[in-house]
Chain A
Amino acid sequence: MTPKAEVVDEVASDAARSGTTGSAGAAGAPDDAVAPGPASLGGTRSDDVLLEVRDLTKSFARGKRKVTALDGVSLSARRGEFLTVIGPSGCGKSTLLHIIGGFERATSGDVVVDGRQVESAGRDRGMVFQKATLFPWWTIERNVAWPLDVGGQGRREARDRARDLLELVGLTGFADAYPGELSGGMQQRAALARTLAMEPQLLLMDEPFGALDAQTRELMQEELNRIWQASGTTVVFITHDIYEAVFLGDRVVVMSGRPGRILADVTIDLPRPRDSEVKGSKEFGDYHGHLWSLLRDEAAKAESVRR
């Protein structure tokens, strides 16, 4: 099976702007593009779309130089979809996520979540950072219960819910531990549970496994697959790891080096639920090869810029 790719050009981003997923607009794409998208994911009714990013641009001044981090980025995600965003380091993918989360402001362009314009941070968009940002002064349970506490839930209710969430992420028995007593992987599970406590419509994950060792990362990817399927939330997951992007994603959005633009939007048509065996399959290898061919030049460019 050939990986299905849609290289997003002007036409495609126009399509995204008009509320479709962009899968119809791959006309005039380079030879490796396959259009249109698969019928199973081809539902383009706009009420299916949860996240809509339109022509996002972000630039800022660094000293006297003007740096453009994002340049006309458009993408969308359907309800319940797992979207991975991949790109060379410094391509602005974290900035993109921060803008969707409402933590940073775009220079121009729109972010619409569930029909509402994003103006600031909110509980409908839960953020998970690369480093687990747990409050070190509270126990794991208190950390996970905190957003519920903020949301006005009663103590006992919040506590019970926190216990359930800790069970979901596999941390039963660690409720009374302090974050500093847990490994990096366990801390990240707890941070995920805390974010899930807000019941976000959209889960924003910024290279959440980037700081973990290779084996822990593999385990966490499988766990996340399971948790995502159990919770049914929509996920935007940033990574620079192609394996991770393919293994987790329904779609992989490929970004170019700075200024960040969208190079391609690849639908990953691998059966779910996925387990580690899928990583050894031929299809998986094909997707990986295809994405690497797209990223290779960008990665080399980013590398030479840094030197």
Chain B
Amino acid sequence: MPALLERRGVASGLFFALVLLVWQGAGALGALPTYVLSPAQIVTALIDTLVDGVLLPAMGTSLQRTVAGFAIGSSLGVFFGLLAGVSRVAEDYVDTLVSLTYPLPKIALFPIVVIWLGYTDTARILVISISCFYPSFVNALAGTQTIDSRLLWVARNAGASRVRAFRQVVLRAAMPSVATGVRISLALSFILTFATETLGAGRGGLGQVIEDGFNNLLYPLMWAGIAAFAILGFLADRAWAGASDRFLRGQRVEAASRG
């Protein structure tokens, strides 16, 4: 038994099951407030909302916004982060701008964007993009700055061109940090999607599902929306982590061997 527990994932899986069990037990004993559903009730709510056709379109709408905002924001963040990392001029201009606006909660810009673009998908995607830009930018820049200068000497020694050295050394060395930044952006994109879907007209999406449940005291509906968000977010994060671990295998191995 102890040997089984030591296997990765087994102990943590058991712990998760235990939390669910306690939660479910508390529900069965009537110890939960009416607005907190037990796991079994949440599963039922998920199935019901799927069957009556509420959940899937809402998931589709939310996912579209999330993916669009994430893709635009994080790719621009990575691009400018890497650019600032290799160009002193770019760093001076962009990094100052970024660090000044970094602490601002980007959702606070939503009203301004709405005045400009109305309660549209474009407005929502824009705010999600802005938010996703930052973690990707900051981590991409850091990735280029923490590179071991000896690796660049190796490239110089071999007579590699600047372009090649950038592509095959700087970029590759920065990748683990880039992947971390993008992963944070991915999580943020879901948070911002929810936030923009609770405000204004023409919302749609899971944010509206949750809000509707909240406003009409339809707690199963509310929980179905929350659970759907959780599932989408979890799957997206797993997919990204899995893909980047595969791509960065050599660097993961090295990081692990350094302890």
Contacts and interface: CB of A to CB of B under 8 A. Distances in A.
Interface of A: 101-103, 120-123, 125-127, 129, 131, 133, 135-139, 146-147, 150-151, 178-181, 194-195, 198
Contact of A133 (B153, B159, B256): B153
25 contacts: A103-B153, A103-B157, A121-B156, A121-B159, A122-B159, A123-B157, A125-B157, A127-B154, A133-B150, A135-B154, A135-B250, A136-B254, A137-B172, A137-B173, A147-B157, A150-B164, A178-B250, A178-B253, A179-B254, A180-B250, A180-B254, A180-B255, A180-B257, A181-B253, A195-B157
B122 interface: no
Given A135-B172, A137-B175, A139-B250, A121 B256 contact: no
Given A135-B151, A135-B169, A180-B254, A123 B158 contact: yes
Interface of A is mostly: loop
A138 B250 contact: yes
Contacts, number: 77
Interface string B158-188: 1110001000110011010000000000000
Given A133-B148, A147-B157, 5 more contacts: A122-B159, A129-B150, A133-B151, A137-B172, A137-B248
A121 B153 contact: yes
Interface in B221-259: 248-258
A78 B183 CA distance: 55
Interface of B: 148, 150-151, 153-154, 156-160, 164, 168-169, 172-173, 175, 248-258
Given A137-B172, A137-B175, A123 B250 contact: no
Contacts of A194: 154
A99 to B, nearest CB: 13
Given A136-B250, A136-B253, A179-B254, A198 B157 contact: yes
Nearest to B165: A150
A151 B158 contact: yes
A135 B171 CA distance: 12
A178 B252 CA distance: 10
B234 to A, nearest CB: 28
Contact of A137 (B154, B156, B157, B251): B251
